[in-house]
Amino acid sequence: MEKRGEIFNQLAIIADLLENINLESESKSVVFILSNDDFEKLFKKIIKKAKTQSDMNETTFSLKIGDIDFIFNKSNV
């Protein structure tokens, strides 16, 4: 399947679907395990979009959209 669309729009759609899921939960999180290159590219894109300065943890960072926590981890492989 071809990967298309802007990452922030895709994450917003996922967040919207999960917020409206028919379950009661304390929290909702999605974890992505990314290659080193994708991890660094996404982090830079998020910093640029958010117009903020932030330090990247060597292996993880998170993004909250609505009530959903998106957690991005760097692959160990």
pLDDT, tens digit (0-9, with 9 covering 90-100), for 39-63: 999 988 887 877 655 556 789 988 8
Query: How many domains in the chain?
Result: 1
Would you say residue 39 lies in a domain?
Answer: yes
Bridge partners (DSSP) listed for residue 30: 70
The reported pLDDT for the residue numbered 52 is 58
Would you say residue 7 lies in a domain?
Answer: no
Would you say residue 21 lies in a domain?
Answer: no
Would you say residue 60 lies in a domain?
Answer: yes
Would you say residue 1 lies in a domain?
Answer: no
Would you say residue 3 lies in a domain?
Answer: no
Would you say residue 6 lies in a domain?
Answer: no
> Which range marks the domain in which residue 48 is found?
30-77
Per-residue pLDDT tens digits for 17-35:
999 998 888 999 999 999 9
Give the global pTM. 0.82
